[in-house]
Amino acid sequence: MSYKLQFTELLPYWNVLLYGLLFTIVLTVVSTAAGIAVGTASAAARTFGPLWLGRIVAVYVELIRNTPFIVQLFFIFFGLPALGLKLSESTAAFLAMVINLGAYSTEIIRAGIEAVPKGHIEAGLSLAMSKWEVLRHIVLNQAFRKIYPALSSQIIIVMLGSAVVSQISAEDLTYAANFVASRNFRNFEVYLLVALAYLLLALLTRSLLRALGRVIFKAR
C-alpha cells in the first residue's frame, strides 16, 4: 500500500477541469432559477388553479418523483429524437434539471402555500383582491419564508445530482474528471480533487443561500 500522490499530473488539464466546474455552476444556477419558477407556477396551479390543471401538474410531479433522474435524462437526450426533437447535450442537461427540480420544488412550495392560514387568504379576498393578487402579495412570500430551508437543501441535492449529466457527455465537472482520468490514469487524484470541489461547492452554496435568505426575509 504505497501510492504516491501526483497532483502535478493534473496541471496540464486545469482548463478542462475549470470549464467543467463552471459548467456545473452555471447548470445549477440556471436550473435552480428556472426550476423554482416552474415549481412556483405548478404549486400555484395545484392550490389556486382549476381542477383539471391541478391534475395535470399532479401527474407531472408524480412521474418525475417516481423515476430515476438518469432515466429522465436519457429519455430526453436519447428518446426524444425519435419524435424528431434532437437536443444538444447541454440543452438536454439543462432541460432535465429544470424538469426535475420543478417537480420536487412543486411539492415543497405547495406545502408552504398550504401552511398559510386560510384566514389570511380570506382577509385578502375581503379586501377586494383577486385570487392571484392574494397569491402573489400574501401567500407566496409567507410560503417561501417557511419552506426556504427545505428548498435550499433541494437545490444542493440537485447540484450534486447534476453529476449524472456527464453520462450524456454534457461537459460538467464530472465529465471533465472522467476525461482527465482517461488521459493520465490518475483516477485517485482526479476524483479526490473533484470530490473536494463538489464538497466546497455544496458548502459554499449552503452559506450563500443562507445569507440570501437573511436578506430576502429580513423583516418580521
Partner 1 sequence: MSLVSIRDVRKSFGPNEVLKGVSLEIAKGDVVAIIGRSGSGKSTLLRCINGLETYQSGAIVADGIEVGGASTNLRELRRHVGMVFQQFNLFPHLTAAENVMLAPTVVNKVSKAEARTTAAEVLAKVGLSEKMDAYPSELSGGQQQRVAIARSLAMRPKVLLCDEITSALDPELVNEVLRVVEQLAREGMTLILVTHEMRFARDVGTKLVFMHHGKVHEEGVPKEVFAAPRTPELQQFVGQVG
Contact characters 93-132, partner 1, x per CB under 8 A: ------------------------x-xx-xxxxxxxxx--
Q: How far is the CB of 149 from partner 1 (least distance, A)?
A: 17
Judged by beta carbon, residue 74 or residue 217, the one nearer partner 1 is 217
**CA-CA distance, 158 to 212, in Å (whole number)?**
18
x-marked contacts with partner 1 along 61-100 as a string, rule CB under 8 A: ----------------------------------------
Using CB under 8 A as the binding rule, the residues of this chain from 143 to 172 that contact partner 1 are 145
- The minimum distance between CB 19 and partner 1, in angstroms, equals 41
User: Of these, 142, 152, 167, 169, which contacts partner 1 (CB under 8 A)?
Assistant: 142
Which C-beta is closer to partner 1: that of 142 or that of 184?
142
Residue whose C-alpha is closest to residue 98's, from 90, 54, 139, 211: 90
Per CB under 8 A, the list member of 70, 89, 133, 150 interacting with partner 1 is 133
220 binds partner 1 (CB under 8 A): yes
The span from the CA of 115 to the CA of 74, in Å, is 36
Exactly one of 86, 137, 183, 210 binds partner 1 (CB under 8 A); that residue is 137
> Contact between 48 and partner 1 (CB under 8 A)?
no
**Helix or strand or coil: residue 108?**
helix
The residues near 211 (Cβ < 8 Å, ≥ 6 apart) are none
Q: How many CB atoms lie within 10 A of CB 77?
A: 23
- Closer to partner 1 at the Cβ: 142 or 167? 142
Cα–Cα distance between 189 and 9 in angstroms, integer? 9
User: Which is closer to partner 1, CB of 9 or CB of 133?
Assistant: 133
Give the residue among 71, 60, 67, 70 at the shortest CA–CA distance from 35.
60
Alpha carbons 140 and 73: distance in angstroms, whole number: 30
Decide: 10 and 186 in contact? Cβ < 8 Å: yes
10 Å Cβ neighbour count for 166? 22
Given the rule CB under 8 A, which residues bind partner 1? Answer: 117, 119-120, 122-130, 133, 137-138, 141-142, 145, 217, 219-220
